[in-house]
Amino acid sequence: MNAGSKLTYPVRFAGKRRIVRLEGEAYFDVVADEEHPFVVQIHLGEITVLGTAFNVNAYADAPVCYTTLVHGKVKFSTLNAETITLSPGEQAVVFANSSTKREVDLEEYVGWVDGMYIFNDRPLGDIMKTFERWYDIQVYYETPNLRDITYSGSLKRHGTINSFLDALELTGDLTYKISGRSILIYDKADEQA
């Protein structure tokens, strides 16, 4: 389970399906049982598996859910009854009214399980949202368009956020100030003015 996540499940599974409810992000490695499929319910639908390893990113405050298949096969059923079947290395990207399937670099989406955050051309706003959950901080932008600058790189999950922020500062794009649990990110040019 990743930071800020909640998994609800019964003390004992009963009936034909093994059902759990997820809010947030979790990595599952499910033992095959064709007579009792494993089902992960999220706010935008449900994922049904027979035996596989996959990651689900479905935070309630995000308008999109990502289901990434590592091995095996999963079926994602959206709220509007659309079904997406995934093969290894594929990801379902689901919004409230639309969905799509794409091939992805697995490490970027499941690296956190092994203690690494990996970002490939990701907007700063998305990266910092991940860190807000993990480090229990709040990020503010004095210059809103800084959220859209894309970065690539990796960070050890158990390191400090300061090492990441210091690396960002070295790009020359921005600088930051920390006050308690709040981080203010602003344009480096504004600092010199």
Model pLDDT for residues 71-119, shown as the tens digit of each residue:
999 999 988 878 999 999 999 999 988 999 999 999 999 999 988 889 9
Nearest to 138 by CA among 150, 129, 125: 129
pTM surpassing 0.85? no
Q: Say which amino acid occupies 94.
A: V
pLDDT of residue 101: 96
Nearest to 174 by CA among 154, 192, 156: 192
Asked whether 69 and 86 are in contact (CB, 8 A), the reply is yes
pLDDT of residue 33: 86
Residue 16 has pLDDT above 80, yes or no: yes
The ranges of the chain annotated as CATH 2.60.120.1440 are 6-108
Asked whether 136 and 181 are in contact (CB, 8 A), the reply is yes
Q: Say which amino acid occupies 34.
A: E
pLDDT of residue 159: 73
**6-108 architecture in CATH?**
Sandwich (2.60)
Q: Report whether CATH 1.10.3720.10 matches the domain 115-192.
A: no
pLDDT of residue 191: 60
Question: pLDDT-derived band of residue 23, with 50, 70 and 90 as boundaries?
Answer: very high
Model pLDDT for residues 124-173, shown as the tens digit of each residue:
999 999 889 888 899 999 989 999 999 998 888 777 788 888 888 888 88
pLDDT of residue 31: 87
pLDDT of residue 190: 67
Model pLDDT for residues 32-53, shown as the tens digit of each residue:
888 899 999 999 999 998 778 9
pLDDT of residue 64: 92
The ranges of the chain annotated as CATH 3.55.50.30 are 115-192
Given CA atoms 24, 51, 105, 162 in this order, what sign does their dihedral have? positive
- Rounded to 5°, angle at Cα 120 from 117 and 125: 75
